[in-house]
Structure 1
Amino acid sequence: MGTNEDHTEDRATAVLVRDAMARATAELPVTADLVGPARAQGLRHRARVRAAIGGAVLAVAGLGLAGAFVLPGGDDDGGPTGSTGVIDVAAPPTGSAPPPPVHLEPSPGESSMADLPPAERARQENFQNQAVGVLQQLLPPSVGTVQRVDLGVRHYQGTKDGKTFHIVFSVRPFEPGTAPQACREIKGTVCSKTTLPGGIEAAASISPINNGDVTESRVWFRYGASDVSLSVNPHDESHTSAPVTAQQLLDLAASSAFLDLVKAADRDPVEEMQRSVPAG
């Protein structure tokens, strides 16, 4: 505490709060729709890296305002706005600060949230903290305590009875002209589908991985200009499958708290667009 970096991030956080207060008085358009593939394989290989207390929990715990940023009401069809520096989410009132983040060292050549400019890092950490509150409320107790991971904005984990389940939550702009991911029941994968509020088509799957001895649970859909995906991975060391059913993930995706989170990230993206790579 008391370092120059702390003071810089405190100043950045103050700017974010002022922006949020200003936005709360304006009628901002809200976009529709979301889905996203996620990448968790790298995290599983780093599962043995110990968790450590990260920096201060910015914008939420540090200010004592967890859940205070609320999306403006209304379901207008306006387009996305530019990034404002704050993700506004109607988070569940937990009455306490989020748990500390899990620290994972990046692989050689890989970047992490620590490499971001202070203001952008604060913005993404704020989104992660809001996501932790929503996921903790909506995921089944079998997932355990949800924490954010400081390697990247899409990475989280649940811990229960000494078992760690890596969670990947992605809201990523899709490349125009690309088709949404289909639900294919191949190689033992079992898919379920439902229609979310607003007519959004969502799919969830239970898929065998790691030679088929454990399963991964995943839900995905397309919202506005984004692909949305939430996956819960198995605990490899104990050969424990992801303790979440497809129906539980579909119910989570249909909740207003989760869709508010998605709506905010679709409007002010925290991930870069995924570009398709030509084959050859």
Structure 2
Amino acid sequence: MDDETMLRRAMDRTAQDLPPLPDLAPTAIRLGRRRRARARLTVAGGVFGTVTAAALGLSLFSTTDPGVAMPAAPPAAFPSAYHTPVQAQPTPGQTPPEKLSDAESARRAQFQQQVSALLDELLPASVTDIRPVADEVSGYRITAGGKTFPVTLSIRPAEGERLQECRNIPSKRTTCEKADLDGGRTAQVYAMAVNKPETLGSMVVTRYGGSSVLLSVSPSDTASAPVTPDQLLAVVRDARFTDLLKYADEYPVQKKDSPVRGG
């Protein structure tokens, strides 16, 4: 019996009677073939800047809470190399990533593949490549115009928390608009200067169930984010994105009190 078969059986035993991740594979294959035919680009690993939300009182978190019972990830139906993970170097002085079981590592990796597949479809066609960041469940990298941009999708337990005040801060080139979502929810849609005044990032913040949700695209060193705040809002409004939020809210892929790594 090979290692892959043993791992899948162990995952099946762990996840009995628990729901699978949302199945986005047909979409991933269809869009992946189209985009790979248009541009075969490889994202280089490394340390990238991320949208800095400290000025807004927002927190990004990562790492799975080992105290929560987790469902296993289903086998991927799309090619395993479709969204090859980026190996990002940790920021000096950061705590090493938490050690996870093989089953939990596989579940988190599969969740990132599902997110990557959906973003591949929903982001503008100018985005020609998207990759998850290995061992950083909230981290992704996209390519547009030959440049690489960091993406964060943070879905963390935050029972009882409320959205911060939506404020425009002209001195920091920050604008905020409110938007209504299905289910009576509200989103805050931000454009904000990151790294330098002339490079803008996009961010949407909302809540789902007992979780805080943040989706952002940061600029590169020389260019603003290739995704506008309104385009990010369109992603958040998609029913399939809501399915991912529902899963991560019920079976968290992040821990409440751990900072995002690699930013």
TM-score by length of 1: 0.67
Whether the 8 Å contact between 1:106 and 1:112 is mirrored in structure 2 is no
Is the counterpart of residue 118 in structure 1 residue 102 in structure 2? yes
SS of the aligned residue for 1:198 comes to: helix
Change (3 A) 1:43 1:219: farther
Whether the 8 Å contact between 1:173 and 1:274 is mirrored in structure 2 is no
In the TM superposition, residue 15 of structure 1 has moved relative to its aligned partner by: 3.3
SS of the aligned residue for 2:197 comes to: coil
Q: Give the Cα separation in 1 of the matches to 2:186 and 2:47.
A: 28
Q: Give the Cα separation in 2 of the matches to 1:137 and 1:158.
A: 13
Is the counterpart of residue 102 in structure 1 residue 86 in structure 2? yes
Instruction: Could you tell me which runs of 5 or more consecutive residues in structure 1 were left unpaired when the two chains were aligned.
Output: 26-41, 47-81
In the TM superposition, residue 10 of structure 1 has moved relative to its aligned partner by: 5.0
Q: Give the Cα separation in 1 of the matches to 2:181 and 2:9.
A: 36
1:57-107 deviation line (CA, Å, top 9, x unaligned): xxxxxxxxxxxxxxxxxxxxxxxxx5233358xx9x9x5443211112323
Instruction: Could you tell me which runs of 5 or more consecutive residues in structure 2 were left unpaired when the two chains were aligned.
Output: 21-45, 51-67
Is the counterpart of residue 220 in structure 1 residue 205 in structure 2? yes
Aligned residues with identical type, % of pairs: 36
Is the counterpart of residue 150 in structure 1 residue 145 in structure 2? no
Is the counterpart of residue 84 in structure 1 residue 70 in structure 2? yes
Is the counterpart of residue 13 in structure 1 residue 17 in structure 2? no
Residue 173 of structure 1, aligned match among 154, 157, 165:
157
TM-score by length of 2: 0.71
SS of the aligned residue for 2:196 comes to: coil
Counterpart mapping for 1:30-45 below 5 A: 43-44=47-48
Change (3 A) 1:129 1:142: same
In the TM superposition, residue 160 of structure 1 has moved relative to its aligned partner by: 2.6
1:158-206 deviation line (CA, Å, top 9, x unaligned): 01343101001010011x4433223221122122221111111011111
Q: Give the Cα separation in 2 of the matches to 1:271 and 1:192.
A: 27
Q: Give the Cα separation in 1 of the matches to 2:230 and 2:128.
A: 18
For 2:132, give the aligned amino acid: R
Q: Give the Cα separation in 1 of the matches to 2:226 and 2:69.
A: 35
> What residue is the counterpart of 1:207 in the other structure?
192
Q: Give the Cα separation in 1 of the matches to 2:131 and 2:251.
A: 22
CA RMSD of aligned residues (A): 3.1
